[in-house]
Amino acid sequence: MGTANYHTHCDLDDGAGRPREYVTRARELGFAAIGFSCHSPLPFPCDWVLSERSFAEYRSEIGRLKGEGSLPEVYLALEVDYLRGVWGPRAPEVASYGLDYCVGSVHFIDIPATGEHVAIDGSAEEFARCLAEGFGGDVRSMVREYYELVREMARHSTPDVIGHIDVIKKNNPGSRYFSEEEDWYRAELRETIETVAASGAILEVNTGGLARGRTDSVYPSPWILPECLRLDIPVQINSDAHRPEKLDFYFAEARALLREAGYRKQAMLIGGAWRAEEL
Ligand SMILES: [Zn+2]
Ligand SMILES: [Zn+2]
């Protein structure tokens, strides 16, 4: 049973702690591998992603840690946003970075009238503004647009790992805007995992919403996991760590959820190749 974490940030983007502190913690935890996936630079100003300058430092720092060659294995990755027609995991710039893999995530929805990119996993106020200004208060349209973006990314800009697939629930505490029990919501997520299955990408089980007290379940919500297994979607457990001490947050519980759903393997990058390892 191997353990690793392929979705981690650090003090060079919006996390805390030097990359080396994460590696040290991963070693203490007996991880086989750690992959750094800071937020990739974006083609517009954004204060929580790597800047051109911090990206250069990031690459050289992770390269240095990789070069030390001791366990855990260290990998250089990015969490790349998908922006319709503008940017994504398969953008030529991203291919030129020489990454070991990439996590693809949707954090932004555009407000059609202004073209503004609004982060839907940020503050409750920002989410409410996107809903009001972009969708006239129609939450179904906004949720549909979110999942449509994830599907587009999976189809046309396929990452190695799909990041926090249902992060749209982050600003829905107490089912404030929608219920995950409703048929229309479940149909959206189901259609999305079918697209992920066809893409061949790995689906992460991400404990980061719980780690930051923003959700009461992992991404994706556990009810969908047996359906992911039926579609033969490879999975892996990540904590989206923004602090070294969160590297294995809720891992035991996430593993139990996956086993309960019937999973016995998780996808791990070991020796430079993705493998199905005992869960
Ligand atoms: Zn993210
Ligand atoms: Zn992340």
Q: What is the DSSP string of 220-267?
A: SPGGGHHHHHHTT--EEEE--BSSGGGTTTTHHHHHHHHHHHT--EEE
* 0.75 exceeded by pTM: yes
Report the separation in Å between the CA atom of 50 and the middle of ligand 2, taken as the mean of its atom positions: 12
Report the separation in Å between the CA atom of 135 and the middle of ligand 1, taken as the mean of its atom positions: 23
Domain boundaries, the chain: 4-278
Report the separation in Å between the CA atom of 179 and the middle of ligand 2, taken as the mean of its atom positions: 25
pLDDT in tens, 240-258: 999 999 999 999 999 999 9
Report the separation in Å between the CA atom of 196 and the middle of ligand 2, taken as the mean of its atom positions: 19
pLDDT in tens, 186-225: 999 999 999 999 999 999 999 999 988 888 999 999 999 9
pLDDT in tens, 87-140: 999 999 999 999 999 999 999 999 988 989 999 999 999 999 999 999 999 999
Fold for the domain defined by 4-278: TIM Barrel (3.20.20)
Q: Catalogue the long-range contacts made by 222-225 (C-beta closer than 8 Å, 24 or more residues apart).
A: 222/257, 222/260, 222/261, 223/180, 224/166, 224/189, 224/190, 224/193, 225/257, 225/258, 225/260, 225/261, 225/263
Report the separation in Å between the CA atom of 115 and the middle of ligand 2, taken as the mean of its atom positions: 24
Report the separation in Å between the CA atom of 102 and the middle of ligand 2, taken as the mean of its atom positions: 11
Report the separation in Å between the CA atom of 33 and the middle of ligand 1, taken as the mean of its atom positions: 20
Report the separation in Å between the CA atom of 257 and the middle of ligand 2, taken as the mean of its atom positions: 21
Report the separation in Å between the CA atom of 143 and the middle of ligand 1, taken as the mean of its atom positions: 17
Report the separation in Å between the CA atom of 241 and the middle of ligand 2, taken as the mean of its atom positions: 7
Report the separation in Å between the CA atom of 25 and the middle of ligand 1, taken as the mean of its atom positions: 21
Report the separation in Å between the CA atom of 155 and the middle of ligand 2, taken as the mean of its atom positions: 21
pLDDT confidence of residue 1: 60
